[in-house]
Chains A and B, each alone.
Chain A
Amino acid sequence: MAAHVEGQQHPIGIYLKIWGLLFVLSTASYLVDYFHLQGYLRWFLILAFMLLKAGLIVAVFMHMLWERLAMMYAILVPTLLLMVLLGIGALEADYTFFTRGVFFLKGLL
């Protein structure tokens, strides 16, 4: 049993590579704004670069890649619950926007 092998040891190259990759991805997401991309293309690129950067940080810098599944699932699966909150927030916001629209329209008539 390797129960007492604690701590994470990895070659320094992997950190430098991920560092470089994060710089490239950040530059790319900045360029999305710099070149004024709009609409679905903008949103897609922003979210794609965001998720890639987040994944690299959690997997390599925070060493999640080398943890056992029991640890990975305990930390990563609960965050999926946030999708429920996101959905509820979006539904509520749409409804509020709609009622505000009706209210302000009545004020104009």
Chain B
Amino acid sequence: MGLKRVVIVGASLAGLRAAEELRTQGHLGTITMVGDEPHRPYDRPPLSKQVLAGKKPPESTALHGAGGSLDELALDWRLGESATGLDLGDRTVLLGGGERLAYDGLVIATGAAPKRLPGTDHLDGVHTLRTLDDCQAIRAALVASPRRVAVVGAGFIGAEVAATCRGLGIEVSLIEALPVPLERGLGHAMGAVVADLHRDHGVDVRLGVGVVLIEGSDRVERVRLTDGSVLDVDLVVVGIGVGPNTGWLEGSGLTLDNGVLCDATCLAAPGVVAAGDVARWPNRRFDEVMRVEHWDNAIAMGTHAARTLLAGPAGAESYEPVPWFWSDQYDRKIQLAGRAGPDDTVEVVSGRVTDRKFVALYGRNGTVVGVLGMNQPAKVMKLRSLVEDGARWEQALEVARG
């Protein structure tokens, strides 16, 4: 093995799983893990759910390895430090404090950062949710019994925050510029089901409207919408998407195009791999260059990228996952295996939408591309193989209905 020093930038889920895989595969050299947050890697999904609701303490999000401890990975931590530059020629990573870390192998796992609403930086009470600190700030605001919360953006974060607020008995307006929630992830028809789910639980769902202005003197007081309506609120949570954290790589020579562009094996340059939210790569299974922001992809891609690093270009395998995600909202578990596009055919194959317990298939060009379930985890996982196998649409329907 030619790698002595591995540097992982991003003390994240993807970064940690890469480190774990390096050790599993027998890497005995150093692994330096750089993270700009003060925390060791933690799990983000509970930040919009159990931790935000106060049902679990923040410490419960700490990630551990298969054996239960991170210490066995013997990582050399650089926490609370940002990487500010990369020199591909010298094979060094520059840190904000001035330190230069030399590497033989580099894993880029810097994730993504939430987009902010312009013109709101001077106002208290306007939050995005990505980090543990973000979560605790919003939690503190929820505990203070806000009259109403405006959630801007009905993607996964927004929808989950809205559900958590309702669980706490707090009034919520969920504002989405697109015609339905989760349209990007689930398509129109199933997004409409999610809109109904939120209405069932008393959310004031506002679709097809944007935010004109968030007003207040020091704190947020009102939200003005494009349809002319005005909401009096004490708290705004903005979930309008994320952008990959590639600023530190500007001018490095890596190709940055909505993420770090990798080849099919997760390799971005000789000795450099990328994984998780920050990475974009051609997924040959779907014949699509994708950047996947899901939790499961951070694990799978972090693991794969580590293997690519160890194998070298000649031995590396292409990364061709069937993406998978879940989202818990109220007492419903939404899961999707595969891809769902806006123009896909959607067919419910089991259960009923009105019962909020069903499975639906997504088809494109005569092939099944996705399996969606609401409170049907076993079925989703069993039918996932249809997507893995690239089953024909009619055949998939038959199997799924069987």
Q: Do A and B make up one complex?
A: no
